[in-house]
Structures are given as structure tokens and as C-alpha cells.
A and B are shown apart, each in its own frame.
Chain A
Amino acid sequence: MFRRVFAQARKELTQIMRDRLALTMALLLPLALLVLLSNAISLTVNDLPLIVQDFDSSSASRSYIDAFRASVTFRVVAWPVDREPESALKAGTARAVLVIPEHFGRDLARGQAANVQLLIDAADANTAKLVNGYAAQITRAYVEQNTGGSRASLVTPQIRLWFNPGRASQKFYAPGIFVLGISMFPPLLATLAMAKEGDQKTILQVYVSSITAHEFLLGKILAFMIIALMEWAISLVVLLTVFGLHLTGDPSAFFVATLLYAFCVSTFGSMVGAAIPNQAAAIQAVALGGFLLVFLLSGLLFPIENIPAGLRWISNIVWGRYYIEIVRDALLQGGGWPAMWFNVMMIGLIGSVFYFIAWRNMRPMQVKA
């Protein structure tokens, strides 16, 4: 039996090696995607254009503006005082407008509270919230400095950021994109290989040979598992070098999960290919499962709890979700087995279900009427 499985796997690998488009898709494209998307997707904004309208022009207001100018978050852009600042927001030349009223410096000197308005373009709600938070921090720091070091607000928070102290969003998104690549390309190739047999009718040769459905499937899956693991290894090197991540804690759960996940995605591809013996339709099905589900319903970008309940249950069966959590744990938190055993189990379970469905489709080993 194993001899036939290996022979099938070898034939599959030889075919891929000779197909240049397939090979680039398997090994090069995921890398390009990883580097590009992890850099492109980020929500923590820097360098936002900010317009300041200073009606006070006192030394106090200027030092307040300097506090904004010095921050990484904001970039102060020039805007004539006589033009309405809202039109800058409409044209997109600024994300926020800081309006400092007359008597700002006088009020401060008298020990009164000076009111300052911040107009925020909230078309992008998340950025708007960040802008508000950062501006409040800058203002607090300014007040503290301005009123002398002795000033103590009664309770001060001391905030510690764990696991990702620089709040580098790449460290959060890169592991997700890494999983996205593995969830998309190996199953795509597996599906193409499977559907091609149906399209070109070479499947008939398989039917008349002595190979059983299990051997045929396992051979194909083994070949694409190898592809998936190769892709995994190359991408992991990039994660560890370019993105400055490193393995934390006990990596054995991560490695076991990786083997199971490679099995899971290759089986998913084979299952789709076996069920839909038409290449174009099969590609679309894999794109839906591999890309849309893993991209949208896996917590790759935003927390799963934010998805409305009517859709959220779907994420319980999205295989990528469990693996993303494992990769993030292995590269950032280091929770190991006690934190991740359930995820490892779920990946294995979903993979077995895929295998069962694929086998059910192949079992008769004869042309579907």
C-alpha cells in the first residue's frame, strides 16, 4: 500500500516541478503576498495630516502646537486661517483640525480650563478613535509639563504592553497572512491537479489501475502536504528574519499543528477537486474557502467577537482560524500546549472530515453518470 501511495505522490510532485506557473504559485507568490500584505495592512496610523487653526498666537498656544508637531502620529500641514477647515477634511488634505480659540494662553495663565476643539474626519471610524486617543494623550502630556512636574493626578495608570511592546501591527498581521498563504495556494494546486484528472479524463486510467481510493487520495494529499510544508518553511524564515518574530515557549504544539494543518489544507483542495471535476469552478470554490473564509471569518484582521452573531458561528468551522491562533501564540505569546490543545484538535478534526468527504466522493472509483 505505502509503495503505491509514495509512487502517486512522486508522480504528483514531478508534474508540479515541470509546471512553472504552478511552482511560482506554490513557492514565490506566498512570499510576495506575505511581505506585501503584512506591510500594507495596518491600522495603527502614523503621520496623519493635521491642520491647526491658532486664533490665539500666544507662546502658550505655540508650545501646545509644538507638542503635536513633535509627535509621530501627526504631521501639521499649513492651512490659511480664513478658509473653512471642513473643506480640507472633505478634500482629504487633512484628517483632523485642531482649533485653538482666542485667550487660550490667558486662560491657562489664570489657572482656568482652556477649551480646544478637535474636528476629526470620522469617515474611517477606527482611525478617528485613534486620533482622538492620541490627541488626548498629547494634551495630557502638555498640561502635565506646563503645570510643572509636581502636579499629580490622583491615580495614574502605568500601562504595560505585553508580547508586542512596540505595538507593531506587522507582528499581528504577518502571522495571519502567513496562514492565509498556506490556506490558499497548496489547496489551489491540489484542486487543479484533481480537477485536471477529471477534465482530461486521465481519471479513467486511475479507475482501471489497481490503486484504491485511499491510496490515490493519500498519495495526492502527501504530495501537496510536502508543497505546503515547503511553503511553510520558506515563509517562516521570512517571518523570523524580516518581521523580527521569534519562536517563544514550547514549539512542539506549533509543529504538530503545522503537520495537521498541511494535511487539512491539502485534503480540502483534494476534496473540492474530487467533488467538482471542472477546473474553473473548482478554482472558484477554493478561492471562496481558502481566501474569503480565512481572510474574513478567522480573526485575521479584526477580533472574531466583532462579527455579528448570525455570521460568527461560521468561524467555528474555519480551519484557518485555529491555526492563526496557534501561530500567533507560538510567535508572540508562548502559551504552548495548555493554551492551544483545543485548536490542534480542531484542525485534526476538520481535516479528517475533509478526508472523509473526499473519500466518499472517490470511493466508487468510477465515472459519475
Chain B
Amino acid sequence: MTAQLKTPGFWHRLRALIKKEFNQIRRDRRLMISLIIPPTLQILLFGFALNSNVSNLRLGILDESKTPESRELIADLTESKSFRLGGYFLENRELDDAIGRSKLDAGVVIPWDFARNLQRGQPANVQFIMNAVNANTAAIGQGYAEGVLVSYNRSLASRGIHPQIRIVAADQNMKGSVNLNPAFLFNPGLVTAWFIVTGTFGTLLVLNGSLVASTAMIREREAGTVEQLLMTPAGTTEIVVAKLTPLFLLLVGMVVLALGLIRFVFEVPIRGNVLLVFGGATLCLLCGIGIGTFIATFTRSAQQAQLLSFFVNPPLATLSGSLSPVEAMPRWLQPVTLLNPIRHFGLITRGTMIKGSTFSELWPNFLALVLFALVLMGLSVWRFRKQLG
């Protein structure tokens, strides 16, 4: 192997082989199309369709108090962007039913003594029923409901409709309180698509990289031309490298396309050095190609490779933190994501584009990607050589 590398004909042979592959690819229109349409579709679909925003929750109202105070609270609740009026109910049972049938996301019950208690300066309770089937919506909706009540309380206190209320309010102010002032850094508009598209980017590179690489490796075998290649003086490493170089260059074109979509369609800023994104993308592509070649060495036909990728890709895509935060996974699963190239590339893209991180903050992720790429490429070349040998 090392002796082969040193022979003077190495570069010459490699160039000839690469030229052959380039010619083959140039005539393969389906490959070109498969590198343009599916990635575009995936980024657009994921970016537009996956939106975790929680707003306009349908709120059903059961107002047993029917007083100006209760109506004011209802107005406060339904005028916010978080909730919208889902209907008035007269009986508990009707409200429960509507929530059970998913006609409502939440219900609020204002008890009959609501206004009386307020006027006496006594605390009043309001019951919220959240449909918690979707845990995320329930958690965020709960925060909204509490927020609306905090501002309702504040307005009650400041306007002081009733003297008693003012007394309670004044008493409360005496005790001191903590104002928590949140500042949303990097993405003050809280656009969810930024998170999704930057995550999908890496998934795209690995999925398409592996698919293209495995088909290319298998095609030669299916056509039975591998033997012809082996008859030539070229070594297996040269064959593999020559096969993958043009594919790699094509895939870099896909990186540019995807980055363009992320930048201009979804308007994700590029606050850091764009070269970091490209560097990470290149390494991530190499990982994808490595996975694809590795799969190819285990299969006899293109269909089998495609089916095998069903085993590999969904876990790779979901155990990456690209669609949902890694911190939300169970503790035992979190370290597993460190072995996933998509996770590291996701951190690199998000860091560089949204947060403006620099290499000094991202080097561990680059190091991991380099290691994965080396191991995967090494493994596939080794398997390929063993098979041909």
C-alpha cells in the first residue's frame, strides 16, 4: 500500500481515474437532479412546516361570576396573542367535554365569588384547565396564563378600583419583590425556523452524501465493471479516492445551495466567519460519504443499500439535536449524541451563523468531525479492499 503511493505513476493514474468518473457523472442527469431538488425541498419543508411556536391557543370560558371584574380578566386573556376565544360555556361538563374532544386547548373557570372576594380585598382563585396532551404547548401555555394574571394583578393594584385592593397592593409592595428582566440574545424575534433549518443542514449533508456515495460505489459492482478496474494498475485506494473526489465536489455545490436557502429564504444571519461553516460542512460531507461507502460494502444491490439506510438515517437525524434540543433527551441518551457528526456540525453552524462564535469556541467540534471523517473513510477503504482482495 505505502509502496504503491510512492510510485511515480500514482498521481497520473489518479488523474485519469478522476477524469473518467467526472465524465460518467456529467452524463448522469438523475444524479444532478437528486442533488438539487431533494435538498431544496427538505430545507424548505422542514423550515416551514416544523414550527414549535405556541400562540392563539383556543381558550374556553366558564364565567360564573359575570361581573365587570371577571369580564375584564376575560378580555385580558383573549386579547393577548397567546390565547383566543374558543367559546363561552355555561356548565362545567360542557367545558370538560370540549377539552376532551380537542376543541379547546385550555379552559378557564372564574368562580361565582370572584368579584366579591376582590372587593373585600381577599385573594380570588381562577382555575385553568390545560389540555396537556402536547407537553410543550402545555408548558408554554401555562407560562402565558401566569403572565397574563401577573399583569392583570398589577393593573388592578395600580388602578385600585376598590380601596381594599389598594391596601392589599400597598401591603404587597412593602415586602419587596424581584423583577426578572429577560433578554433574548442572538434571536430576539424568537424565530423557531432558525433552529430547525440550521439543524436540518447537517442532516441533509449526511443523508445525501451517504446516498450518493453508496449508489456510486454499488453501480460499478452491479454493472460488473469492478473487475475491469481491478485489471488496471490502479490500487483500491486510488479507485475509491477517484470515485469519491468528483462526488465530493458536486456535494460542495449542494452545500452552497443549502447555505443560500438558509441565508436568503429563512434570513438566518451569518454573524461569524462563513468559512467555518464551509469547513464544518466539508468535514460533515466526508463523514456522510464515509457512511455511504461503508453501507455499500455490506450490500449487493442499490435497493438493499437504500433499505439499509433506513436503519441508519432516522437515528442519525434524530439523535443529533438538530430538531429538538439535546438537553430534552433522557440522560442516558445524551452522551450518545456526541458520536454523531450531525450534532457537531449543528453546533458549528448555529454557533457561527446565529451566535457569531469563533474557532476558539468551536474547535472541539471540528476536532470531533475530523476524527469521525478519518475513521469512517479509513473503515470503508479497508472494507472495500478486503472485499476486492
Chain A residues with CB under 8 Å of chain B are 21, 25, 29, 33, 36-37, 39-48, 64, 86-87, 89-92, 95, 107-130, 132-137, 139-140, 142-143, 146-148, 151-165, 167-169, 171-172, 184, 188, 192, 279-280, 283-284, 287, 292, 296-297, 301-303, 305-308, 311, 325, 328-329, 332-335, 338-339
Contact = CB atoms under 8 A, between A and B. Distances in A.
B274 interface: no
A308 B192 CA distance: 13
Contact of A155 (B118, B133, B311, B318): B118
B318 A41 contact: yes
A45 B327 contact: yes
A297 B133 CA distance: 18
B51 A137 contact: no
Contacts of A153: 123, 149-150, 153, 172
B182 A132 contact: yes
A238 B372 CA distance: 34
A91 B350 CA distance: 10
Interface stretch (B135-143, B231-239, B256-264): B135-143
B314 to A, nearest CB: 6
Nearest to A133: B143
11 contacts: A45-B325, A45-B327, A45-B328, A113-B176, A117-B181, A120-B185, A121-B186, A154-B156, A156-B124, A302-B52, A339-B101
Given A126-B52, A148-B175, A158 B132 contact: no
Interface residues of B, number: 104
Contacts of A167: 132, 135, 138-139
Given A109-B176, A116-B180, A142-B178, A306 B51 contact: yes
A231 to B, nearest CB: 14
B165 interface: yes
Contact of B128 (A90, A157, A296): A157
A307 B48 contact: yes
A118 B142 CA distance: 20
B150 to A, nearest CB: 8
B183 A120 contact: yes
A159 B328 contact: no
Given A154-B153, A307-B51, A121 B355 contact: yes
A120 B172 contact: no
B324 A122 contact: no
A196 B195 CA distance: 41
Interface string B187-216: 110111011001000000000000000000
A267 to B, nearest CB: 21
Nearest to A199: B303
B102 A113 contact: no
A128 B329 contact: no
Nearest to B168: A154
Q: Which of A120, A168, A171, A284 has the most CB of B within 10 A?
A: A120
A116 B310 contact: no
Contacts of A332: 133
A265 to B, nearest CB: 16
A42 to B, nearest CB: 4
A43 B187 contact: no
B52 to A, nearest CB: 4
B180 A339 contact: no
